[in-house]
Amino acid sequence: MSLTVVGSVAFDALETPFGKRDKVLGGAATHFGLSASFFTEVNAVGVVGGDFSEAEWDVFRRHQINTGDIEVVNGGKTFFWSGRYDYDMNTANSLDTQLNVFANFDPKLSENSKSAEFLFLANIQPTLQKGVREQCPNAKFVAMDTMNFWISSAKDEVIDTIRTVDCIIINDAEARQLTDEPSIYKAARAIMDLGLKAVVIKRGEYGATLFTKDAYFVAPAYPLESVFDPTGAGDTFAGGFMGYLSAQNDLSDETLRRAMVYGSVMASFNVEKFGTDRVDALDHHEINARFKEFKQMTHFDDIPFERSAAA
pLDDT tens track for 85-100? 887 777 788 999 999 9
Where in the chain are the domains? Answer: 2-298
Q: How far is CA 43 from CA 5, 34, 37, 70, 110, in A?
A: 6, 11, 9, 9, 10
Find all residues with CB under 8 Å of 88, minimum gap 6, and list them: none
72 CB burial (10 A radius; 0-12, 13-18, 19+): middle
- Please report, for residues 64, 111, 119, the alpha-carbon distance to residue 114 in angstroms, rounded to integers and kept in the order given: 18, 5, 9
The answer to whether residue 311 scores a pLDDT higher than 90 is no
User: Per residue in 230-251, pLDDT tens?
Assistant: 999 999 999 999 999 999 989 9
Mean pLDDT of the chain: 94
Answer whether 123's CB lies under 8 Å from 95's CB.
Answer: no
Measure the CA–CA gap between 202 and 175, rounded to whole angstroms. Answer: 10
At 26, the pLDDT band (50, 70, 90 cuts) reads very high
Residue 56 has pLDDT above 80, yes or no: yes
Q: Which of 3.40.1190.20, 3.40.50.150, 3.40.50.300, 1.10.287.130 is the CATH number of 2-298?
A: 3.40.1190.20
